[in-house]
Structure 1
């Protein structure tokens, strides 16, 4: 079976360049969105880790607000300052010591950082590709417009 041959983008026609530009823009949007979601998740984990550091024997039996959802909190009392319940995803919760929970959140922050490090070069590559396609597209469009404007008029006078 014959391998498909690569064609330089400068040899593509305007409709093909436009389709390629659209595809690359979708890829840039996807990678940008992925980076944004990773940053949000990483920040939430950092906040959780920092919040755990405030739990100590002095906070026992203190009034706190307990999150039921991301926007709804109810008053509660912190009765056990040695153990916390950690949401580990997909509806599973695990009881951990505060130290174990801090370590868990730190591992998750680092893991997401590694994922961001993998996505970032792909995003940069797609942005550079988009820039090249747009440049060639605009050049070809200007050439086509110039060719149309220099054609002699065939109107009858």
Structure 2
């Protein structure tokens, strides 16, 4: 017997009508899709932080006064010269930037990668639970359809 716990109460799926099951299925499919979108967003965010951390780890002390290309957009650059090897301006979100030294910058990105990974793991657990319930729901719906065919 398949059942669902919702807010402390159990619902016997086998006692619900096909219309009710279809409505619950649609809601859970929508929730699972939203969770998948959230996981993808977090994955992209984690990749961005990891890339920034890796870039900082590549910094060499002999880069002082080195000429570089500074991106203005994703496809437009201007020439620039590195003047200060120990100060970095970091985007901390929602249009805020902070200036940090090299080691603090590396630590910031390391902590952000770890935090986003933790959030991804939490959301993946929720996704797994909802997917399992959705599978059980679909199984009950298929059983009801088989029973209806046999009765007819």
- Give the alignment's Cα RMSD to 1 decimal: 1.9
Aligned with 1:72 (options 75, 79, 91)? 75
Which deviations, in whole Å up to 9, do the C-alpha atoms of 1:3-24 show, x marking residues without a partner?
A: 9963301111111110011111
The structure that has the greater radius of gyration is 1
Aligned with 2:123 (options 99, 119, 125)? 119
- Residue 62 of structure 1 and its aligned partner are, at CA, apart by 2.2
TM-score (normalised: structure 2): 0.87
- Residue 63 of structure 1 and its aligned partner are, at CA, apart by 2.8
TM-score (normalised: structure 1): 0.84
Which deviations, in whole Å up to 9, do the C-alpha atoms of 1:9-46 show, x marking residues without a partner?
A: 11111111100111111111111111111111111101
- Residue 88 of structure 1 and its aligned partner are, at CA, apart by 0.7
Which residue of structure 1 lines up, in the alignment, with residue 3 of structure 2?
none
Aligned with 2:136 (options 132, 136, 149)? 132
Moved more, 6-15 or 124-133: 6-15
State yes or no: 1:38 paired with 2:42: yes
Which secondary structure does the structure 1 equivalent of 2:10 belong to? coil
Unaligned runs of 5+ in 1: 149-157
The number of residues matched between the two structures is: 145
- Residue 81 of structure 1 and its aligned partner are, at CA, apart by 1.1
